[in-house]
Amino acid sequence: MFKRILLVACALLLVATCAAFAADAKTLTCIGPWSGAEMEAFVPVLQAFEKETGIKVDYRIYRGEDLSAQLPAQFSAKTTPGDVIFMWSWFIAKQGEAGHALELTGLIKDGDYLPGALDGLKVGGKLYGIAYTGKVKPGFWYRKSFFQKHGLTPPTTWEEFVALLDKIAKIPGIKAPIVSGDSVGWPLSDVTEHFIATFGGPQLHKELTAGTIAWTDPVVKGIFEGRLVPLLKAKRFSEPIEWTQALELWWQGDYGLYFMGSWITGMVKDPSDLGVFSLPGARGIVFGADYAFVPAYTKHPEEAKKLIQFLATKGQEIQVTKGGHIATYTKVPLDAYPPVDRGVAELLTGRVALSDMDDTIGGEFQPTFWDQLKLLWVKPDRCTEVLETLEKKAP
Amino acid sequence: MKEKFLRPLFFVPALVLLAAFVIYPVVNTVWLSFLSPDGNFVALDNYADVLSQQEMVDLRGFQRGFPYGALIHNFMWLVIHLPLTVLAGLALAILLRGVRGGSIIKSIVFLGMVTPMIVGGIILRFMFDGSIGIVPGIARLFGGSPETLTAYPETALLSLILGSLWLWVPFGMVLYSAGLETIPSEVYEAAMIDGAKPLSMFFNITFPLLRPITEVVVTMTFLWDLKIFDVVYAATMGGPGGASNVLALQMYFYAFRKFDFNSAAVVACVLMLLTTAVAAPMMIRSAREAR
């Protein structure tokens, strides 16, 4: 009797082990930052991949901030929590250089992507990641119904912009004309980059990213002290408020404008009520792409490469249909976009697409940039000190 | 004779684990703190470099206000949080002793202690939020301005220190409650017969007899304040402008944002020295008592 039980137990164990191996052989883990509505828009992309290849994909949510602490230790131990991981471009390049990311050169064609989209992922000509869809940080969003109700129009000059803020400030019930989104600090850096790209031009934005001009340079200081600080001092921006909460407050009419990326179109109840304008005279617009890579320690390198290739190409077309995303893959047809995103894409026409400054520089500069802007937002008179601190941490 | 040889043998598994997971990492971290990023021995250069950084000590703070640097912020935690925690823990333990429903109230207070600190940090962030937070909400009731207190440099650190009291006070309360149970009631009865007043009984009986408990609460709170990380990370990420930065968070920034493990090791060693200096007297006393 005992022998029979032992035999059955062994057989069950064998079957379970085989099943586990069989399941493991075709299950990839994809790690990305999206949760909630954003995740719901991404999951169909993975489902389409599963349908096409028969390879199962598990999606897990990790923020870049958490991955930056976790991955170096995992990679040192030659292991990885995921087979395809979405992460900052500077981080991917660094891991590629250290041998922790698989080389993807030849997997996708450079010419099929927006100019410069893959630059931050290359080290010595070798490609270590892919550019997925991106989000444009086009400018200030407003509710068309709010503007109509109060007789407001988008500005065409700086003076009109300042006058618009004055008008909004006088509307009863308005807490501040512009709501400032807060998180770890990136919403504030997006606004600041827009001011730099508008009043310093795309070249200044690129030079600051490359570290070839100082943050304390009179030109940079002039933009801060001449444009941004007066608005902060006049309380035209609210104090930093958690960005999803800020979205709700703005939508319900506590604030008139909200500077946010194009993903906002997928987060509001009625996207058709959305309007957006850039700062008058903006010649460059920040385009922040999402990047992914395959860790060198994946157990399924070939399957992972298939997934990342899919994400870089067909996956983008599926993603943009969900709203809030703009493809870096230029073969995605314009009619794949929802109407509101087509409007966002139009804002890019005739303007230089700039890579997100803090995501490109990364390292210690990124959290310093975010944190110093939080200080500037509530203490605009400490602008000089903020710029000096940024200069110390700049590349 | 056999027992004499066998006894040390039983220590071996524990010693192996200690060596692998405590001694080796500690020695390696200390060694790392004396090396340059390319592996050369640089003696105390890393220490001089890290301790002279404004993130660690920013003397300009004494003129313009926050930030003062992570090291000074940690001392502020100690100066404000430590006595408040000890006093509040003791006060709650005494007030709730023998009170009807006291154990239920203690259980509710103890919820702070069982809440993960990272969750506590997020709750703190919302507690002080100008739009939905309870603290600005109360301020609004009394005509105050509903500002997000964690968003301003002059109030961010203080908000975290005071706000985190509910996370750590239960620890003192529980220990003091247990300590109070060990004081024989005869001592109080004798004092009452001698005509002692409640305040006099507290200072001459309760407080002296709770001294061993106080030592534990003070030491553990000291260590908690020195290694504070998760609450600050989740609530303010050390901001705004580094106004609530602390040593453990600075170590994180060095290690995982700058990828400068040598500087991170320096901060880790400074923290280790400080915690050892505090914990050593208690450990020595415990060893003596055990003998």
Residue ranges of the domains in chain A? 2-134+289-342, 139-260+363-393
Task: Report d(CA B165, CA B152) in Å as an integer.
Answer: 20
Is the CB of A374 less than 8 angstroms away from the CB of B253?
no
Structure confidence by residue, pLDDT tens digits, A282-311 = 988 888 889 999 999 999 999 999 999 999
- Whether residue A235 contacts residue A175, with contact meaning beta carbons closer than 8 Å, is answered with no
Q: What does the block give as tokens for A329? A: 């893959």
Name the residue type at position A249.
L
Q: What are the angstrom distances between the C-alpha of B68 and each of A267, A390, B124, B253? A: 39, 17, 22, 17
The pLDDT value given to residue B66: 92
Is residue A16 very low, low, confident or very high in pLDDT (cuts 50, 70, 90)? low
Task: Report d(CA B109, CA B174) in Å as an integer.
Answer: 10
ipTM: 0.88
The pLDDT value given to residue A198: 95
- Whether residue B217 contacts residue B93, with contact meaning beta carbons closer than 8 Å, is answered with no
The pLDDT value given to residue A7: 62
What is the overall mean pLDDT for chain A?
A: 90
Q: What SS3 state is found at A329? A: strand
E strand segments, chain A: 27-32, 56-61, 84-87, 122-123, 126-127, 130-137, 139-143, 176-182, 237-242, 255-260, 274-277, 284-293, 352-355
Name the residue type at position A350.
G
- Give the CA count within 13 Å in the CB-facing half-sphere of A147: 17
Best A248, A375, A389, A393 member to test B by mutation, with max B CBs in 10 Å, is A375
The pLDDT value given to residue B257: 86
Phi, psi at A390, each rounded to 5°: -65, -40
DSSP label at residue B260: -
Count CB atoms within 10 A of the CB of residue A218: 9
Closest chain B residue to the Cα of A182, Cα to Cα: B151
Cβ-based neighbours of B213, under 8 Å, separated by 6 or more:
B175, B176, B178, B179
Q: What are the angstrom distances between the C-alpha of B267 and each of A328, B29, B252, B254, B278? A: 42, 10, 9, 9, 17
CATH 1.10.3720.10 fits B69-290, yes or no: yes
The pLDDT value given to residue A341: 79
- Whether residue A223 contacts residue A199, with contact meaning beta carbons closer than 8 Å, is answered with yes
Task: Report d(CA B4, CA B2) in Å as an integer.
Answer: 5
Q: What SS3 state is found at A336? A: helix
For B255-284, letters b (16+ CB in 10 Å) and e give bbbbbbbbbbbbbbbbbbebeeebeeebee
Best A377, A378, A381, A387 member to test B by mutation, with max B CBs in 10 Å, is A378
Q: Split chain B (291 residues) into runs of 10 and give each run's mean pLDDT.
A: 78 93 95 94 95 94 93 96 95 90 88 91 91 88 85 95 93 94 91 91 93 92 94 93 96 91 96 89 79 73
Is residue A13 very low, low, confident or very high in pLDDT (cuts 50, 70, 90)? low
Task: Report d(CA A195, CA A204) in Å as an integer.
Answer: 11
Candidates A387, A377, A382; CA nearest to A191 is A377
User: Which CATH architecture group holds A139-260+363-393?
Assistant: 3-Layer(aba) Sandwich (3.40)
Say which residue, A21 or B135, is predicted with more confidence: B135
Of the partner residues B131, B151, B242, the one whose CB lies closest to the CB of residue A245: B131
β-strands A255-260, A352-355 pairing = unpaired
The pLDDT value given to residue A143: 97
The pLDDT value given to residue A5: 63
The pLDDT value given to residue A224: 97
Q: What are the angstrom distances between the C-alpha of A61 and each of A36, A87, B42? A: 10, 12, 41
Domains A2-134+289-342 and A139-260+363-393 belong to one CATH topology? yes
- Whether residue A302 contacts residue A285, with contact meaning beta carbons closer than 8 Å, is answered with no
State the first-to-last Cα distance of chain A, in angstroms, to the nearest integer: 73
Spell out which residues of chain A touch residue B243, defining contact as CB-CB under 8 Å.
375
Of the partner residues A363, A374, A386, the one whose CB lies closest to the CB of residue B257: A363
User: Residue A9 pLDDT more than 70?
Assistant: no
DSSP label at residue A133: E
- Whether residue B110 contacts residue B174, with contact meaning beta carbons closer than 8 Å, is answered with yes
Helix, strand, coil shares of chain B as percentages rounded to 5? 75, 0, 25
User: Residue A8 pLDDT more than 80?
Assistant: no
Cβ-based neighbours of A220, under 8 Å, separated by 6 or more:
A196, A200, A204, A208, A213, A214, A387
The pLDDT value given to residue A2: 56
Q: What are the angstrom distances between the C-alpha of A341 and each of A5, A33, A135, A364? A: 63, 21, 10, 33
User: Which CATH architecture group holds A2-134+289-342?
Assistant: 3-Layer(aba) Sandwich (3.40)
Candidates B233, B245, B191, B183; CA nearest to B211 is B183
Q: Which residues pair with A286 in a beta bridge?
A: A137, A354
Count CB atoms within 10 A of the CB of residue B112: 18
Of the partner residues A184, A245, A375, the one whose CB lies closest to the CB of residue B153: A375
Cβ-based neighbours of A161, under 8 Å, separated by 6 or more:
A155, A279, A280
Is the CB of B148 less than 8 angstroms away from the CB of A185?
no
CA–CA–CA angle A113, A101, B233 (5° rounding): 95
Best B131, B132, B147 member to test A by mutation, with max A CBs in 10 Å, is B131
Of the partner residues A72, A249, A363, the one whose CB lies closest to the CB of residue B131: A249
Task: Report d(CA A269, CA B133) in Å as an integer.
Answer: 25
Phi, psi at A378, each rounded to 5°: -105, -15
Region A226-247: mean pLDDT is 95
